[in-house]
Amino acid sequence: MEKTINTPTLKATLAGLGWTQKRLAEEIGVTSQAVTNWLQGNDFPRPDKLLKLATTLKLNFDQLVSSSVKPPIVAFRKKGGAKTTEQHVLKALAMGVMLKPLVQYLPAKRALRTQIPAPSTEYEALQSVVADVREKLGIGMQAVLQYQHLFGEFEINDAVIVPVLWGHKQRHENALHILLPEENVTFIYLNLDTHLEDFKFWMAHELAHVYTPSLAGTDDGEDFADAFAGALLFPKELAESAYAETTHKTNKNGQIEVLSKYARDHKISLFSVYREVINFAQANNFGELKATDQDIHAVRNNMRDALVSEALFKPLPPDPAAYVAATHNVFKSSFFIALQRMLRERSTAIGYIQQVLDISLRDATALHVELLK
């Protein structure tokens, strides 16, 4: 195993505190041997222990991990109003480090991937990119973008979908993007406890990250991913039709009714349709709609659909076999196939599943049993 803990920094910090390795072990809640293994490069702390290590010693990831190792690049699709803290980032980075040994069990990497060479949020440039992507997917500009189109794109671009059940409104993130730059593989955690109408947008957002690795982990990357997702789901040809139909209505309720119909037909958020119509109007210097952001949010909040997990699994929570099967058959993901191979070859412990999926020990144990059948 690579020596990934920055041993000189850790030892210097302990010396400054006047702590022994034994004292550090007690503070972190591990054995002295575990600390020795970290310092000797024979092991790497699990996400929860790395987080405890960082907060206890007041060090960040770059200080804790050897500079000879390229750290994972992470991006969050956060729940509304949530703030990303150093703890969120550190935990995600630690999960990324733990994913490294799993890469060798994934299918062979593709030689060709789709990349957007000069990503831009300028309206016409973005629409041109979207047109190319839709042509590649084999669908017209006014066709409904289906989930299957998105799943297939992740698969052929070496982006591994990891569907998770992290709870509705209980976690900071709705999606977590982890790029391993040295391995050139991306893992995308998608929270299934999320509304169907939002889920497609988040998937398109994550696909934009896959297409633009040069922007990974940056604010520009997030801005482009949001713009790309909206345009891909509801491109200008649709926005033009929706604008014409909407502006024939004399009041905002009539306009919202038209926009809602488009949202239902395309199985996307009302707000996504509204924003793309607004973007089209502004790009062409057309008049504004009567409906406002506030009006749209009020209607949207009253017409929420089911959660993805509710649509996929009955009853909830799913048993491990159903969960593993859906990951492979619905999301076209090789994650559990690779994990199963790793468990059988390396006799990997239950704790690995718990940490890499960020789930309870009980759920990790059930999955461990299922994968070793």
So what's the pLDDT on residue 351? 87
Q: What is the pLDDT of residues 9-18, one digit of tens each?
A: 888 888 888 8
Which residues lie across from 73 on neighbouring strands? 179
Element (H, E) at 173: strand 173-180
Cα dist from 247 to 234, 253, 297, 314, whole Å? 18, 12, 19, 42
Q: What is the pLDDT of residues 19-40, one digit of tens each?
A: 999 999 999 999 999 888 888 8
Please give the order of strands across the beta sheet that includes 159-164. Answer: 73-78, 173-180, 185-191, 159-164
Contacts of 14 (CB under 8 A, 6+ apart): 20, 21, 23, 24, 57
Cα dist from 358 to 48, 158, 189, whole Å? 9, 22, 10
So what's the pLDDT on residue 307? 92
Is the confidence at residue 82, as pLDDT, over 70? no
Is the confidence at residue 303, as pLDDT, over 50? yes
Average pLDDT over residues 41-64: 84
Is the confidence at residue 364, as pLDDT, over 80? yes
Burial of 237 (0-12, 13-18, 19+ CB in 10 A): middle
Decide which of 358 and 47 is more confident. Answer: 358
Average pLDDT over residues 335-347: 95
Decide which of 249 and 46 is more confident. Answer: 249
So what's the pLDDT on residue 4? 74
Residues 167/192, Cβ–Cβ less than 8 Å: no
Q: CA 74 to CA 92: how far, in whole Å?
A: 7
Q: What are phi and psi of 220, to 5 degrees?
A: -60, -35
So what's the pLDDT on residue 218? 86
Q: Give me the residue label for tokens 């909040």.
A: 301
So what's the pLDDT on residue 1? 44
Which residues lie across from 191 on neighbouring strands? 164
Is the confidence at residue 2, as pLDDT, over 90? no
Q: State if pTM tops 0.75.
A: yes
State the average pLDDT for the chain: 89
pLDDT band at 58 (very low <50, low <70, confident <90, very high): confident
Of 56-60, 223-227, 311-315, 368-372, the range with the lowest mean pLDDT is: 56-60
Q: What is the pLDDT of residues 198-222, one digit of tens each?
A: 899 999 999 999 999 888 878 898 8
Burial of 131 (0-12, 13-18, 19+ CB in 10 A): middle
> Domain 1-69 maps to which CATH number in 1.10.260.40, 2.60.120.10, 3.40.50.1000, 3.40.50.300?
1.10.260.40
Q: What is the pLDDT of residues 257-301, one digit of tens each?
A: 999 999 999 999 999 999 999 999 999 999 999 989 999 988 887
Residues 99/357, Cβ–Cβ less than 8 Å: no
Q: CA 126 to CA 307: how far, in whole Å?
A: 30
So what's the pLDDT on residue 69? 65
Residues 289/255, Cβ–Cβ less than 8 Å: yes
